[in-house]
Structure formats: structure tokens, C-alpha cells
Amino acid sequence: MKYSSKLNEFDILDLLNEYHSELRKLKHKVDFVKDKVAELEQQYSTIKKIKSSATPYAKAEPIETTTSDKAAPKAEVDDEKKGKRKPYPLSDWDKFIMETIQEKNRATLSKEIYEAVKEKALNAKIFTTDEKSKSKINQCLVKLTNRREDLKKVNHKGRGFAYALPIWYDDRNRLMKEYKLK
């Protein structure tokens, strides 16, 4: 069977449509990767700032207290306090996240957090764009779970995480039934 090397009008149109479709897909992928790179660069710069501003005391192991420490002189007690780093103050975004989870009174999906916090940020007139807000909320969730431990991540069957307050966990570090995802 012999094939013609010339394309007819419909073949050319079909190829053009296919190429344009591929081009749109690739542009979407490029935008997605650029967003992820920007987000990771922001997280990296935040980590570098934290590490560079850390004092030698912040790297020291916490000192265990015993009953004899209760009668220790004031100077020794002050030295123990220097070893602990003050927690970061909560930003407006952090407060919006905490309020949202407390209002829901259960473990809350990151998607639900974003929707509620976006509304609060719009009302407070600090919302800029969806992209920047998602990045900011993600940074705050990382801070609240990893550095401050104000929240705990909750695994679930879907994508991402849900978040819950640490007081909603029992002695065996399991989320209590009344606070589980619905």
C-alpha cells in the first residue's frame, strides 16, 4: 500500500488542532511549575532567615527540671528560660486559620480553610490574589503545625491534609471522634 506524502486540508486542520491543544497543555504545565518553584523559593528563604537569626541558645537541648530545681536561685532559673525561644507571634492570616478551625469545631480540610480564610481576608482588606493567598495560607499552616505546634495534621483519604487543634487528641495521640472529619 502506498501512502501519499501530501496532506489534505482536513489532515492539516487536524494536526493544527492537535498541536494547539498540546501547546495549551504545555503552557498550563509551565505556569504550574513556575508557581511551585516560587512557592518553594519563598519557603527556602524563610527557612534561611530563621536559621540565620537563630541564637546559640535556640540550638541547645531543653534542660530537664527536677524537684530540687524549684529552690534554685533566680539567676539559674533565668538561664534556663534563655534556652527556650519565644514562639512567633500570630499574624492576621494565622489568626484567621485558627478561628476557622475553632468555628468548624472539627478537623478541617485545607480546601475549607482556604475558602473561609479568603473570605476573612477579603473582609479585612488584606487579600491580594488567589495565588499569593494560597501561598500565604500554606506558609501559615506549615508554621502552625511544624514550628509552633498550634495545629496538628490529620491524614484522610483525599488529597492534602486536614488540620485540628492539639487539644482534640486523646492520651494515645488519636483524634477524638467528635472532632473527626465529616
Which CATH number characterizes residue 113's domain?
Answer: 1.10.10
* Inside any domain, residue 2: no
Q: Alpha-carbon distance 55 to 82, whole Å? A: 10
Range of the domain at 39: 11-46
* Inside any domain, residue 63: no
For 156, other C-beta atoms within 10 Å of its C-beta total: 13
Q: pTM (2 decimals)?
A: 0.53
Whether residue 107 contacts residue 95, with contact meaning beta carbons closer than 8 Å, is answered with no
All three cell numbers of 152? 496538628
Count of domains for the chain: 2
Per-residue confidence in pLDDT tens, the chain, 182 aa: 566 678 888 888 888 888 888 989 998 898 888 888 888 888 888 887 787 765 444 444 444 444 444 444 454 444 455 556 667 688 999 999 999 999 999 999 999 999 999 999 999 998 889 899 999 999 999 999 988 889 999 988 888 889 999 999 999 999 999 999 87
* Inside any domain, residue 5: no
